[in-house]
């Protein structure tokens, strides 16, 4: 809207003019070459600004001072004029003024000049351009519990007259927001509805701004969405990394060893083995074989799902008093494991994912033709321990089992030393494995899952998932070691209804 202010005789006498003042003989007269300049239509993106010249003339018979030729009213961001603030013209003198139309955006524009308040010089122009409009269905999502999701719609529309190219549509603000569905281009009049989601992980103000960067000459445009996230409380729980593991432990005995009295303490301390396995959270199976066959004094194998340590200890102790007469322990181990795979009393003993620990016990030299590589056909990570005579206290050197134990990283212990409580603890701890298996952590409170943070020994862990109301942690991926301290922090889940 243009407001026309007309001042009578704007440059004539005013306050303080002497009472005997008289205007000069004659009078200046302002004339404009035209009273309207229509620049037509141009594209903001592809066309250059357009200039037009208008002649301003003094058609009177006296000097004429003209003001207002530089004072634009209206859409001053689209029009400009090069005239000075005051122009003085002699009678019949003419001067040009240049008007320029350089629109900033799509639309229709209008402005005007009012020289001396006596004339109106109107300027009109139309600009074509893409123009992006960003609106949100709800600009305040209200109170949203941590761990709960709130959604609203964002409408991006091309309200301009040329193709709108969207270079980038992104979010600024808290990281708890997501934005989906942004298009690449929009024709004039076309719109796209985007989905804005909020899943807060921390309490407090949760504001996000949707920003659209496009070829709209006006630049970036955006809209803000506010929310307030509330919490039912924060929890931190500490765990020890001790994942459940499976271990199949096979004792292979030189049957003559029992007759020497070297296994007397082995029978007494057998319960130590099972207690220590339970400490390591091991699902164990243990069996014993000698040159005769599987031992018939107990089930084909002792199973942690059936036996307690107090039950399994005496049973294994009885098995250590076998009566076979073979000292080729490595051959005997291969035969027993092959038997477990093809039938016989050990059928079903071996579990594919369980660690295989073969414990060779004997006081005579081992004359086996087989070795560690033959055992590795049953498990690539087979572990061999050798509890054998090492040449002290009347025991003969038994070299083959020692070599297999050293090559596989197992235990080498002197059978003649009789330190069976320590031996059993070492056998059990080797059977724990290395903690590279997964462990399911049961939390005390229901967590807002998106707020879960897991750390171990000062390092943030990422190889975990929430499933079946448990936090499943992959110790292999995280390179965790047994008994590492694991910390789980989270916000307590709230009702999202």
pTM: 0.62
Q: Hey, CA dihedral for 110, 115, 120, 122, is it positive or negative?
A: negative
The pLDDT value recorded for residue 392 is 53
pLDDT digits (tens, 9 = 90+) for 249-273: 999 998 888 777 888 889 999 999 9
Does residue 333 share a domain with residue 185?
A: no
Does residue 292 share a domain with residue 184?
A: no
CA angle 263, 268, 269 (to 5 degrees): 95
Find out whether 327 and 256 touch, Cβ atoms under 8 Å: yes
Task: Indicate if the pLDDT at residue 24 is higher than 80.
Answer: no
Q: Find the mean pLDDT for residues 15-42.
A: 78
Last residue of a domain, one of 128, 159, 177: 128
Does residue 259 share a domain with residue 165?
A: no
Does residue 97 share a domain with residue 139?
A: no
Higher local confidence (pLDDT), 299 or 309: 309
Tokens 């036996």 — which residue? Answer: 307
Task: Indicate if the pLDDT at residue 200 is higher than 50.
Answer: yes
* Pair type for strands 383-388 and 412-414: parallel
CA angle 157, 160, 166 (to 5 degrees): 55
Does residue 354 share a domain with residue 302?
A: yes
Q: Among residues of the chain, what percentage have pLDDT more than 90?
A: 70
Find out whether 242 and 482 touch, Cβ atoms under 8 Å: yes
The pLDDT value recorded for residue 217 is 96
Q: Find the mean pLDDT for residues 332-343.
A: 87
The pLDDT value recorded for residue 393 is 52
Find out whether 356 and 333 touch, Cβ atoms under 8 Å: no
The answer as to whether 265 is a domain residue is yes
Does residue 270 share a domain with residue 410?
A: yes
Does residue 219 share a domain with residue 329?
A: no
Does residue 446 share a domain with residue 367?
A: no
The pLDDT value recorded for residue 68 is 94
The answer as to whether 12 is a domain residue is no
The pLDDT value recorded for residue 395 is 64
Does residue 485 share a domain with residue 339?
A: no
Q: What is the CATH number of the domain that holds 136?
A: 2.60.40.10
pLDDT digits (tens, 9 = 90+) for 81-96: 999 999 999 999 999 9
Q: Give the list of residues 6+ apart from residue 63 with CB closer than 8 angstroms, or none.
A: 28, 88, 89, 90, 91
Does residue 419 share a domain with residue 313?
A: yes
The answer as to whether 192 is a domain residue is yes
Q: Among residues of the chain, what percentage have pLDDT more than 70?
A: 91
| Residue 267 burial (CB count, 10 A) | 17
Closest by CA position to 134, among listed 235, 201, 209? 209
- Structural domain count, the chain: 4
Which residue range forms the structural domain that includes residue 55? 30-128
Task: Indicate if the pLDDT at residue 201 is higher than 50.
Answer: yes
Last residue of a domain, one of 195, 230, 265: 230
């Amino acid at each position: 809207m243009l407001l026309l202010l007309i001042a009578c005789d704007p440059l004539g006498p005013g306050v303080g003019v002497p009472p005997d003042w008289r205007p000069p003989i004659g009078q200046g007269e302002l004339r404009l070459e035209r009273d309207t300049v229509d620049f037509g239509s141009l594209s903001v993106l592809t066309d250059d600004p357009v200039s037009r010249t208008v002649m301003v003339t003094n058609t009177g018979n006296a000097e004429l001072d003209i003001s207002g030729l530089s004072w634009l009213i209206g859409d001053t961001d689209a029009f400009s004029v090069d005239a000075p603030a005051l122009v003085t013209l002699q009678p019949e003198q003419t001067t040009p003024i240049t008007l320029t139309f350089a629109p900033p955006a799509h639309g229709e524009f209008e402005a005007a000049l009012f020289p001396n308040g006596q004339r109106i010089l109107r300027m009109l122009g139309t600009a074509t351009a893409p123009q992006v409009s960003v609106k949100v269905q709800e600009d305040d999502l209200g109170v949203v519990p941590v761990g709960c999701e709130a959604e609203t719609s964002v409408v991006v529309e091309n309200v301009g007259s040329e193709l709108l190219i969207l270079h980038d549509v992104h979010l600024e603000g808290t990281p708890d927001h997501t934005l989906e569905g942004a298009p690449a281009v929009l024709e004039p009049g076309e719109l796209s509805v985007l989905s804005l989601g909020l899943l807060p992980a921390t309490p407090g103000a949760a504001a996000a701004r949707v920003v659209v960067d496009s070829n709209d000459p006006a630049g970036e445009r955006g809209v803000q969405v506010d929310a307030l996230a509330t919490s039912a409380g924060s929890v931190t729980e500490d765990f020890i990394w001790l994942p459940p593991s499976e271990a199949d432990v096979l004792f292979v005995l030189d049957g003559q060893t029992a007759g020497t009295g070297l296994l007397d303490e082995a029978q007494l301390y057998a319960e130590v083995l099972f207690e220590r396995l339970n400490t390591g959270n091991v699902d164990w199976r243990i069996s014993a074989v000698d040159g005769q066959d599987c031992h018939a004094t107990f089930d084909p194998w002792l199973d942690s799902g059936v036996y307690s340590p107090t039950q399994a200890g005496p049973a294994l102790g009885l098995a250590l008093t076998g009566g076979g007469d073979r000292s080729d322990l490595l051959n005997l181990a291969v035969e027993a494991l092959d038997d477990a795979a093809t039938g016989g009393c050990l059928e079903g003993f071996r579990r594919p994912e369980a660690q295989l620990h073969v414990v060779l016990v004997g006081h005579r030299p081992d004359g086996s033709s087989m070795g560690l590589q033959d055992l590795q056909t049953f498990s690539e990570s087979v572990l061999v321990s050798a509890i054998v005579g090492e040449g002290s206290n009347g025991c003969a050197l038994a070299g083959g089992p020692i070599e297999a134990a050293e090559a596989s990283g197992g235990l080498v212990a002197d059978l003649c030393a009789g330190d069976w409580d320590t031996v059993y603890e070492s056998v059990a701890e080797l059977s724990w494995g290395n903690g590279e298996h997964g462990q399911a952590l049961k939390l005390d409170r229901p967590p807002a899952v998106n707020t879960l943070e897991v750390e171990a020994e000062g390092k943030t862990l990422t190889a975990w998932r929430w499933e079946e109301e448990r936090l499943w942690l992959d110790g292999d991926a995280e390179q965790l070691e047994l008994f590492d301290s694991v910390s789980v922090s989270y916000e307590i889940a709230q009702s999202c209804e």
